[in-house]
């Protein structure tokens, strides 16, 4: 049903009754599955890929797509995506991002890595420009 590092069909997972019926002695799984279901429902409209950061093939060092991924953990040190800095954390300029990272107990994993800071800032600027353009379209319409 799910192959590591390959997109999967969310509808197929959601409709698999056995997947959502864990053994009664798996308390951790019983607690986790509602979050998994919620995540799949919320993000089912776009491509979802399952993988582990330790699996090198899971990341694309050419496109930097992983900078768009939010960690599904709760609270810090959960990692956040570059787009979340705009949409959820209301950063409107790079100085806001710097202040946000300083205020966290731990910065996100990619913060401070020289080879990633340029691509991260470029993505942030692109998201911000897109958000401003969408706002202007809505206000002028």
Mean pLDDT of each 10-residue bin along the chain, 141 residues long: 81 92 92 88 82 57 74 61 86 94 85 89 90 72 60
Instruction: Please report the pLDDT score of residue 70 as a whole number.
Output: 73
Instruction: Tell the residue number behind the tokens 């509602």, with chain if given.
Output: 34
Sign of CA dihedral 90, 93, 94, 96: negative
Q: How many domains is the chain partitioned into structurally?
A: 2
User: Are 23 and 40 within one domain?
Assistant: yes
Instruction: Please report the pLDDT score of residue 133 as a whole number.
Output: 77
Instruction: Please report the pLDDT score of residue 75 as a whole number.
Output: 55
User: Distance between CA 10 and CA 48 in Å, rounded?
Assistant: 8
User: Are 46 and 1 within one domain?
Assistant: yes
Instruction: Please report the pLDDT score of residue 58 as a whole number.
Output: 54
User: Are 20 and 84 within one domain?
Assistant: no
User: Are 63 and 42 within one domain?
Assistant: no
User: Are 47 and 88 within one domain?
Assistant: no
Instruction: Please report the pLDDT score of residue 120 as a whole number.
Output: 92
User: Distance between CA 102 and CA 95 in Å, rounded?
Assistant: 11
Domain hosting 27: range is: 1-52
User: Are 81 and 96 within one domain?
Assistant: yes
pLDDT in tens, 56-81: 555 566 678 778 777 665 555 567 78
- Of the residues 52, 67, 89, which one is the last residue of a structural domain? 52
User: Are 38 and 100 within one domain?
Assistant: no
Model-wide pTM > 0.75: no
Instruction: Please report the pLDDT score of residue 78 as a whole number.
Output: 61
User: Are 45 and 64 within one domain?
Assistant: no
């Amino acid at each position: 049903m799910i192959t590591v590092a390959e997109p999967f069909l969310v509808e197929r997972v959601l409709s698999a009754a056995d997947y959502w019926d864990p053994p009664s002695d798996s308390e951790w799984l019983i607690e986790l599955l509602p979050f998994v279901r919620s995540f799949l429902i919320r993000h089912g409209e776009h491509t979802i890929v399952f993988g582990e950061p330790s699996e090198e093939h899971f990341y694309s060092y050419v496109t930097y797509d992983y900078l768009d991924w939010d960690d599904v953990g709760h609270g810090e040190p959960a990692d956040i995506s570059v787009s979340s800095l705009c949409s959820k954390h209301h950063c409107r300029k790079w100085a806001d991002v710097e202040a946000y990272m300083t205020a966290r107990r731990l910065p996100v994993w990619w913060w401070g890595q020289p080879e990633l800071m340029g691509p991260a800032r470029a993505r942030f600027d692109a998201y911000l420009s897109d958000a401003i353009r969408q706002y202007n379209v809505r206000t002028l319409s």
